[in-house]
């Protein structure tokens, strides 16, 4: 099932249009929303203490990020960079807990 065919549409959300190559979230940023990828692909990356960046995984349509940090009150533990032009739906912490 496509996540955008569910009840999620009943909650207020923000749509972000992100261009290829732009970083959406940086390691250490605070997260107050959960992000659902409606279209496109993003790379989840981690910076090491030596200054290197490692790609951990690629997320695509109907996948999400930010949920772990959102519900645990942690800061973002990775970088999220658009691999393609993306459309991302953001739902604030207030409504994400009701999903």
> For residue 46, what are the β-bridge partners?
54
Task: Give the pLDDT of residue 88.
Answer: 95
Per the structure, the count of domains in the chain is 1
pTM confidence score: 0.80
The domain of 29 spans: 3-96
Query: How does DSSP assign 18-42, residue by residue?
Result: E-TT-EEE-TT----EEEEEEES-E
Mean pLDDT across 8-13: 63
Of 34-43, 48-57, 71-80, 88-97, the one with minimum mean pLDDT is 88-97
* Mean pLDDT over each residue of the chain, to the nearest integer: 84
**Percent of the chain whose pLDDT exceeds 90:** 51
User: With 80 as the cut, is the pLDDT of residue 8 above it?
Assistant: no
CATH number, position 13: 2.60.120.10
Cβ-proximal residues to 59 (8 Å cutoff; 6+ apart), any chain: 37, 41, 42, 44, 65
């Amino acid at each position: 099932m496509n996540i955008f065919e569910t009840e999620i549409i009943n909650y207020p959300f923000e749509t972000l249009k992100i261009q290829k190559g732009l970083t959406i979230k940086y390691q250490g940023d605070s997260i107050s929303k959960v992000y659902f990828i409606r279209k496109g692909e993003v790379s989840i990356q981690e910076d090491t203490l030596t200054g290197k960046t490692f790609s951990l995984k690629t997320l695509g349509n109907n996948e999400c990020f930010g949920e772990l940090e959102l519900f645990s009150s942690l800061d973002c533990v990775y970088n999220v960079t658009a691999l393609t032009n993306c459309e991302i739906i953001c739902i604030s912490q207030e409504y994400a807990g009701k999903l």
